[in-house]
Amino acid sequence: MAPRPSRERRVVVTGMGAVTPLGIDVASTWDAATEGRSGIGPLSRFDASGFSVRICGEVSKGIDLGGVSHKEARRLDRNIVLAVAAAREAREDADFEVTDANRERIGVAIGTAIGGLGTLETGFEVLSKRGPERISPFMIPMIISNMAGGYVAIRHGLRGPNLCHVSACATGAHSIGEAARIIERGDADVMLAGGTECAITRLGLAGFTAMRALSKRNDDPAAASRPFDRDRDGLVMGEGAAVLILEELKHAQTRGASIRAELLGYGMSADAVHMAIPTEDAEGAQRCMKLAIRDAGIAPEDVDYINAHATSTPAGDPAEVRAIRQVFGSHADAVAVSATKSMTGHLLGAAGAVEAVLCIRALETGVLPPTINLEKPDPACDLDHVANKARQLRIQVALSNSFGFGGTNATLIFGRA
């Protein structure tokens, strides 16, 4: 492995939290992922009988909000609620105390691609039917994208940097990468970083359907998300949140923290070509991965596993495969590449954070989650896609790709602790 660039402040992961269509915490999410279970089912949030798409990945009931009352939760958009649950678990996992002495050195970077869409819809309905005087005074705080991070900071008394990245499907990865930069330059010692999303609403579903982006396998929801498969017909919307506790290495060692992984590298780029479709060679994705590899101070051959962005779209999946082949050359055939969106669906702004959690668990356990529903491999998607069954493989380095609308790209690289 090439020498890592000299950094005075290295960044490690000391805690994780997640709520996904696969489970209401990291453990249940990981168990379902390694068992190859799908979290996709019939949409239950509202009556979708008039929609051509009626499937999605929903988070089940029972998430732990850590003392937030039912009354208080009703004043929060669902994307905020999911972030609160993930942050609570992450902080408990990291086992650190917030005090007057350290609270100004602990920050939050939790992003969302779309924000409080459900609250916006409800507010417009109230305005249309009952008039402006009946709008809730909590509507604006519930809508704005930065409120998930803001509310988490309020709940835990965190007074360090607090910011929200909004970069479509790359949001979660950008949030983690930029939070690491904050720690590296010394502006914080600890950051709660990740993404959250709940865009499964009437307007959200109608919008993505109008783009012709969604799978219409209503009769077989569990098989609808099928990255790299010849019969894929679009992505499946999902909801969820994930938060990592990022910590400066020496700070974590001094307090005796359990280190789960190290964030080795981070890259970002722009396609600057099209709002939703990558170029055939995915040149922007290539540059993004190369920048992350350079930042990590490793060689392409050091990467053992890739959690692909792979959304199950006709254009996106083969473009990412071509990008991986360009970046890794002959080593591309030796790298295990799985698409966990086959099980979770596409969690939009939360996707990169959830997939970071899965990469870290793969490093910790030596188990690679599969790409399910890969029954007829597309000849254009010819990598080792860990088809349909988890694999035992001790890995040292995992790479996670997140590519978003607008041509925005992010790549994270994690190493074993």
Do the domains 11-254 and 266-416 sit in the same CATH topology, yes or no?
Answer: yes
Residue type, 15: G
Average pLDDT over residues 191-218: 97
Return the sign of the alpha-carbon dihedral for residues 66, 71, 73, 76: negative
The predicted-structure confidence for 262-279, as pLDDT tens digits, reads as follows 999 999 999 988 887 788
User: What CATH number matches the domain at 266-416, 3.30.565.10, 3.40.47.10, 3.40.50.1100, 3.40.50.880?
Assistant: 3.40.47.10
Q: How far is CA 253 from CA 10, 42, 150, in A?
A: 11, 46, 28
CA 411 to chain centre: 12
Return the pLDDT at 6. 63
Catalytic residue annotation: 169, 309, 346
Give all strands (DSSP E) within 202-327, no chain letters: 240-248, 261-270, 305-307
Q: Tell me, what's the pLDDT at 1? A: 42
Distances (CA, A) of 142 to 118, 126, 150: 9, 15, 11
240 pLDDT more than 50: yes
Judge whether residue 353 has pLDDT over 90: yes
88 and 64 in contact (C-beta within 8 Å)? yes
- Average pLDDT (348-374) is 98
Distance CA(126)–CA(147), nearest Å, equals 22
Q: How far apart are CA 172 and CA 355, in angstroms?
A: 9
In angstroms, the Cα distances linking 181 to 7, 54, 354 are: 11, 40, 20
Q: What is the rounded CA–CA span in Å between residue 347 and residue 59?
A: 11
Q: How far is the CA of 164 from the CAs of 113, 115, 167, in angstroms? A: 10, 11, 10
Cβ atoms 344, 374 nearer than 8 A: no
Greatest CA separation for the chain? 65
Amino acid at 299: A
CA distance 379 to 91: 44
Q: Give CA–CA dist 246/252, Å, rounded.
A: 9
Mean pLDDT on 54-68: 94
pLDDT digits (tens, 9 = 90+) for 133-142: 999 999 999 9
pLDDT at 10 over 50: yes
pLDDT for 3 equals 46
Domain spanning 11-254: CATH superfamily: Thiolase/Chalcone synthase (3.40.47.10)
Instruction: Calculate mean pLDDT across residues 217-226.
Output: 98
The domain limits of the chain are: 11-254, 266-416
